[in-house]
């Protein structure tokens, strides 16, 4: 019984940590010297209504140079996308992989920092206000 209580306590702590104030971002990477962005990131975000959310962003190499596959694991679902890195800007399209009736899709753009962080916005097709997102590399 104590073990279950400890698990719930740790889970509550980790969820509240996602909603804490994120670490400051590094300066924008120079367009000709962008760090490798392949890897796993902790995601802190605010949707268009002001609601905070968090999750994980995983970036994989794409099939072409400068192309990347993205996967977001956030509360409420899994999203995947494909993006192109030009300079320090990763522009992408995405869609949800949910089995519910509401399939979501949209576009976004992240700026890469000198520390390999990503920040920017991600919109949902048909909605006015985009989400703002910041992704921090998870240590390897």
Q: What is the pLDDT of residue 77?
A: 87
pLDDT: which is higher, 1 or 46:
46
Q: What is the pLDDT of residue 108?
A: 97
What are the residue ranges spanned by the domains of the chain? 24-137
pTM of model > 0.85: no
Do 72 and 56 contact (CB within 8 A), yes or no?
yes
Structure tokens at 14: 């980790």
Do 124 and 137 contact (CB within 8 A), yes or no?
no
What confidence category does residue 23 fall into, taking pLDDT thresholds of 50, 70 and 90? Answer: confident
Local structure of 21: helix, strand or coil: coil
Q: How many CB atoms lie within 10 A of CB 127?
A: 13
Q: Does CATH number 2.40.128.120 belong to domain 24-137?
A: yes
CA dist 23 and 105 (Å) reads: 28
Residue matched to tokens 């990503």 = 118
Q: What is the pLDDT of residue 7?
A: 30
Nearest to 72 by CA among 56, 85, 84: 56
């Amino acid at each position: 019984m104590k073990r279950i209580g400890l698990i719930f306590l740790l889970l509550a702590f980790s969820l509240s940590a996602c909603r804490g104030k994120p670490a400051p971002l590094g300066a924008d990477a120079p367009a000709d010297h962008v760090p490798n962005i392949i890897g796993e990131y902790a995601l802190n975000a605010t949707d268009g209504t002001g609601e905070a959310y968090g999750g994980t962003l995983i970036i994989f190499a794409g099939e072409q140079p400068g192309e990347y596959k993205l996967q977001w694991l956030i509360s409420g679902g899994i999203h995947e996308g494909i993006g192109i890195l030009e300079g320090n800007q990763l522009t992408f399209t995405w869609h949800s992989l949910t089995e519910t009736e509401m399939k979501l899709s949209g576009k976004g753009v992240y700026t890469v920092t000198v520390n390999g962080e990503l920040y920017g916005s991600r919109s949902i097709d048909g909605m006015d206000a985009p989400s703002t997102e910041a992704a921090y590399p998870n240590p390897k």
